[in-house]
Every structure is written in structure tokens, then in C-alpha cells.
Amino acid sequence: MNLSKIKNDMFPKSCALLLSAALTFTSCNKEEDGIDPTLGEESNIQIVKGEYIVVFHNQSIKSNAVKQESLGLLKKYGITSDQIKSDYQSIFKGIVLHDISEDTYNQLQEDPAVKSVIKNIPMEFNLTPVNLPTQENTGTKMNDPIFDRRLPNGEIVPYANQRVGYADGRREKIWFFDGGIAEVNELNIDRRLSRNFIAGEPANAWQDTRADSHGTRVASIAAAKMNGSGIVGVAYGATVVSIRVFGTGATLASITEAYDYVARNIGPNDVWNMSGGPTSSYQGLVRRGFKDQADLLAAAIANLGRIRPGAIAAGNDGINLDLNPFVESMNSTANDNVYIVGAINNRDQVWDSSMFGRVIDYWAPGVEMTSIDRFGNVDVGGPGDSGTSFASPVVAAVIALTNNNPTINRNQNITRNGHTKPVPLAQIINIIGR
């Protein structure tokens, strides 16, 4: 993402809230084409009382000294170290405060050292895969279909691998912002770096407990081992890191803290994946009074992308992102390291529910995807196994395998609504040519 496109008032000091709708996240949610599905909704969202995200003007503070240096500023307002819930060291320099009065909040807004004071709000996430009959956009080309292939030992090579290529990923590491990853034999999990960021639960509660196994399925598409059972991931055997941010109790502070944690710890050759985003468009959030929160989230994603490349699911409302920009993709450019991914099927047709527009960077298989569930079982791809959630990890794996330099075959580009973008390929031998 390109910070030059982020407005100068990215972190305005005022943060008025119109408490009229919940800020929710989704990766797989089908709504009517071309319409922001949440514009007319009302909800009883409440701010997290007494909690504020404070961003400092001085971004040159040493990363390991943010909390200590902030104490001098906060002391004059009677704020103690016990009221500093956490700090931001990488995506921006700031802190999360709790047990803060409205008067102190107003005083902080006027401090010349403070760039913004933003009220923390809940963020609910909906990661349910689309359970609808498969539909494709008939305006795109139709190639001969590719099907999952079963190896002599019974292991399945998904059609996605055969479309983009696949290879040994044991030297690679992919970080997943999701609902957790289950400890199954098919995955190499970095348990030391994996973290939970859902409030009220321990940091080591990073495992997947969701009924739909969303995070485990996403990770398996990218990195399932080639071990004679289950499926083969695109970057098979890659190490995966579970960053559990989607679930009840998630807030703006917790997800931006997760971004900051990854930014501080991600390796020089690692990549990240996020298969989720707000259900409402950016304009919809602004209309409800959530501009400050939306801008903060967009800036955090942009700054993470400047540290290491990552893939983000475009969304599954089937709408034009040029007309209805969404927070996670609205600042994306053609030359940044944040890749917005739309979904195609096994005939190279654009999936009808995939978001589209000029912000799409890549198309990748995401329809009726075979994966591994949280019990370690193979979930053979069917109508309920579709979403840009499943296209995004395909791209993350290709980026990891190619050191962010995938092969592009211009004869295989995909066009939707006048915008043409490629399917990224891993330049390796295990690939079916077209």
C-alpha cells in the first residue's frame, strides 16, 4: 500500500462516534451485487469504555522505548504506567490506554506531542465460507478445467497447485491473521511465535476452535505438508504462524496490536496473509462516524506492507471496489507489497461473488477449494468451500516461494469489468502449462 495516498488527516485528533452500526469483518459473506450491505443497518455497538489508542507525532522514538518515553508526557495528566495497556513499536509509535476519563481524553487531544487519540471499538469478524451454488462471470474466458489430482500414495494435489505451481516450502514462513490454526499433523506450526490477540483469553490461545475451521483451512491451502496423506500445499511444508485476531472480543486496538507484533517479529524473507476485512465499505464506516477508526486500520495495514509483503482477500460481496472502496484495499497501488486477491475457478473464470476493480493485484483459484479442517481431515472442495479467503493464501504461498517475484504469463491474464490482472505463478517444474 502507498502511504502517499493516505490523507494528511489520517489520524485526526477528534474522534466523534455515531453509535449506529457495528464494525464487523468478513472473508466469505455473499450480499447483493453493487450494494454496500450494511449501509442501512443499525446496531447497539458501544465504544470500549475508557480505552484509547494514542499515536505520537514523533515516529523516531526507539521501538523498545515507546512505553518509557510516553510516561513523561502522560505524567502531567495523572496517567500511570498501569494505565498503559500496550504499545506500538513498528507500524507507528503509540500506546493503548485504559481506565481513562473523558476529561483526560479531551486534554490529550490538545497536547502538541499527540497526533491522534482514537476511541477503541469492538470489531466482530464473520469468516463463514460462502455456501451457495458456484457461479462464474460469463464475460471471462473459459479454459479446460483443472481438477484435483490424487497421487499414488493417496495424497491430493489441489487444482490450485496445478494452476499456479507448487514446491517445497520448508525454508519459508507465512504468518496468518485469522481465527486460529489447529495443531494438525499436516502443518508445521511455529508455536513460539504464534499468538492470540482476542481480549480475555491467554496469549497462547492461538489454536483454531471454530466450527468452520477457517484459519486451518486457509493455512493448509498454502502450506500443507507433502507427507503421503491429506493434501499438498502450494508451498508445501512451509512454517505457519497463527495470529488469532478474528473472534468475539476483538477490537480495533487488538487487531492493530497484532499487526504491530507481526511487524516487529516477521523475518526478512517471511510473508503474511489476511483472509478477512470489514463487511461495510469505507464510505459506509465514515457515514456512521467511524472514519478515525477506519483510517487508523488502513494506515496500520499500509505500514505492515512496507515492512514485508502480504496477501489480502478482496472480499466476497461481488461488488466493484472502485465504486465502493474497502478499508483493507482502498490504498493499494500497483507498486506496493500488499496484494489484493480475487477468486477464479478451475476454468479461469472470475467467481461471481469475488470483489473486483483496479485495486485487484492478482487472481487466484478460490472456488470449491480442497483443504484440511481443524481435525486433520480432508475437506474436499464443494459449493460451500469458495471465497477470496481461499484465493489469498495461494498468492501468499507463491510470493513466499518466489521471494516476491512471481512469474507472470500475459497470455493467462484475467479480465473483469475492463481491468486485466495476472495469475501469479511459481517458476518451478511442478506446474501444468496452458
Decide which of 3.30.70, 1.10.260, 1.10.287, 3.30.450 is the CATH code for 19-122.
3.30.70
C-alpha 415/C-alpha 349 separation (Å) is 9
Q: What integer pLDDT is reported at residue 142 of this predicted model?
A: 55
Q: Are 37 and 31 in contact (CB under 8 A)?
A: yes
Query: For residue 331, how far is the Cα from the chain centroid?
Result: 14
What pLDDT does 128 receive?
A: 52
Nearest to 280 by CA among 45, 35, 46: 35
- Of the candidates 133, 131, 60, which has an alpha carbon nearest to the alpha carbon of residue 93? 60
Q: Which tens digits make up the pLDDT trace of 364-408?
A: 999 999 999 999 999 999 877 999 999 999 999 999 999 999 999
d(CA 109, CA 115): 8
Alpha-carbon gap, residue 426 to 232, rounded angstroms: 15
Range 126-421 has CATH code 3.30.70.360: no
Compute the distance between CA of residue 13 and CA of residue 18 in angstroms, rounded to an integer: 16
- Rounded distance between C-alpha atoms, residue 125 and residue 249, angstroms: 10
H/E element, 164? helix 159-164
Residues in the chain with pLDDT values less than 70: 1-45, 124-143, 279, 427-434
Range(s) within the chain of domains with CATH label 3.30.70: 19-122
Task: Answer yes or no: are the C-beta atoms of 316 and 27 closer than 8 Å.
Answer: yes
Instruction: Report the alpha-carbon distance of residue 79 to residue 370 in Å, rounded.
Output: 52
pLDDT at 6: 29
Per DSSP, the residues of 345-388 read -TTSPBBTTS-BSTT--EEEE-SS--EE-TTS-EE---TTSBSH
Q: Are 157 and 151 in contact (CB under 8 A)?
A: yes
Nearest-angstrom CA–CA distance, 408 and 421 = 10
Indicate the pairing of strand 362-365 with strand 338-344.
parallel
**Rounded-to-integer distance, Cα 385 and Cα 369, Å:** 6
Q: Are 51 and 68 in contact (CB under 8 A)?
A: no
Q: What is the pLDDT of residue 229?
A: 96
What pLDDT score was predicted for residue 12?
A: 41
| pLDDT for residue 8 | 34
Domain with CATH 3.40.50.200 in the chain: 126-421
Q: What is the pLDDT of residues 338-354, one digit of tens each?
A: 999 999 999 999 999 99
Q: Can you give the length of the chain in residues?
A: 434
The span from the CA of 73 to the CA of 108, in Å, is 9
φ, ψ dihedrals at 123, nearest 5°: -130, 110
Q: What are the start-end ranges of the E strands in 46-189? A: 52-56, 84-88, 94-97, 114-119, 123-126, 149-150, 156-157, 167-168, 173-178, 188-189
